[in-house]
Amino acid sequence: MGVEEEAAVLSVLRSGWISQGPKVAEFERQFAAYVGTPHAIALSSCTTALHLAMLLAGIKEGDEVLCPSLSFIATANAIRYVGAAPVFVDIDPGTYNIDPNRVEEAITPRTRAILAVHQVGMPAAMNELGEIADRRGLVLMEDAACASGSKYMAERVGHPHSLLACFSFHPRKVLVTGEGGMITTADEQIAARAKRLRQHAMSVSDLARHSSSKIVSESYDEVGFNFRMTDMQAALGLVQLQRLPGFLERRRARAAKYTAALGQLPFFVPPGEPEGCVSNFQSYMVRMLENAPITRDDLMQALLDRGISTRRGVMPIHRERPYADPCWDARLPETNRAADRTIILPLFDQMTDEDQDYVLDAILGVCRR
């Protein structure tokens, strides 16, 4: 966050309109143009976006939705919010995303949808998933929380590769508004309903009422929510969207440097981009093989002792209490392996060459000992 973001928020504070209003509308327009979709609907978070996505897709009690377990727990929670059940599908160990080859065996008569996740910004295999969804009559949706700026087959994630995609602007992601989310879709009716449902299903928006020269009264035609973004957040988003190309360039350069250095060692597997996929490297997640001279957790501790903070790779949802069921372990071997063997290395916009050299020297030193 820089001086431009500060000025943008200040101007909203002085404008007299701080809740969802003109800045939200402008952020939606510019985000839609950036990803190349006709409609974008700003929301309070990706979690509320995913919850709304389930309702918009007609997912309901008793339905099953296929998704990866190797994801943030919000992916599965959104499915539960509407009374449906997440059915976890194993990942492709190369991309850490849902493996299209394992999808069909998980389909039952109750299956209604596939929720693909672009994990840590790496695009999922949307073409293969789309083919299965079409053939089996399922809805395809995207949890694109981490994927602002990522590309799939020369198009930005959020360009319609499915019915709808849900983004997050939490500080842990690449484009940041504090809290915030977005749904992108090509479907006009879905977009219109999403805009109503985020605002208690109000038939006329408060902005439209306030700007009208005639008396306008609204009605509430279904049960809606307060999933609104504020104009202060949207003002941040508008500045961050301008800066996004720079964020992407720097993140990708840092990722390339990690990959070049760690790829030299026979026990690290750096993240690889499949043909046609461009990651925003929201996180740099690397796999440690069994022949590594140190365990993942010991490496994390040794780095922490040198003042370097790392994280375990993405933790699977099926190990958390609300989703724990003994059936999953046998069905998710690659998910379990990835969870036990991956580490997320420091990668942030203001990281300097010196910072990264310090991290790499520490890793190489610890592994050589």
Ligand X SMILES: *Cc1c(COP(=O)(O)O)cnc(C)c1O
Query: Which amino acids are annotated catalytic?
Result: 173
The closest of 89, 47, 83 to 66, measured between CA atoms, is 89
Percent helix, strand, coil in the chain, to 5, is 45, 20, 40
* Cα distance between residue 242 and residue 17, in whole Å: 23
The H helix count followed by the E strand count for the chain is 12, 14
Point out which span in 54-62, 165-173, 248-256, 345-353 binds ligand X (CB under 6 A): 165-173
Q: Which is nearer to ligand X, 67 or 139 (CB)?
A: 67
181 touches ligand X by CB under 6 A: yes
Out of 57, 79, 133, 145, the only residue in the binding site for ligand X (CB under 6 A) is 145
* Cα distance between residue 169 and residue 171, in whole Å: 6
In the bound complex, what is the minimum distance in angstroms from residue 120's beta carbon to ligand X? 8
Q: Among all chains, which residue has been given the structure tokens 């990959």?
A: 259
Q: Which is nearer to ligand X, 147 or 261 (CB)?
A: 147
331 touches ligand X by CB under 6 A: no
* Cα distance between residue 73 and residue 47, in whole Å: 10
Residues 19-48 that bind ligand X (CB under 6 A): 45-47
Which x/- pattern, by CB under 6 A, does the window 114-133 give for ligand X?
---x----------------
Q: Is 153 left (phi over 0), alpha (psi -120 to 50) or beta?
A: left
Q: Which is nearer to ligand X, 21 or 181 (CB)?
A: 181
Point out which span in 11-19, 100-108, 139-147, 327-335 binds ligand X (CB under 6 A): 139-147
71 touches ligand X by CB under 6 A: yes
72 touches ligand X by CB under 6 A: yes
Q: How many CB atoms lie under 10 A from the CB of residue 117?
A: 26
Q: Which is nearer to ligand X, 69 or 71 (CB)?
A: 71
- Which of the 8 DSSP states describes residue 343? E
Q: Which is nearer to ligand X, 165 or 300 (CB)?
A: 165
143 touches ligand X by CB under 6 A: yes
Question: Using an 8 Å Cβ cutoff, are 120 and 345 in contact?
Answer: no
119's tokens: 């994990």
In the bound complex, what is the minimum distance in angstroms from residue 260's beta carbon to ligand X? 27
Report the greatest alpha carbon distance in the chain: 77
Give the interface with ligand X as residue ranges (CB under 6 A): 45-47, 71-72, 74-75, 117, 143, 145-146, 168, 170, 172, 181
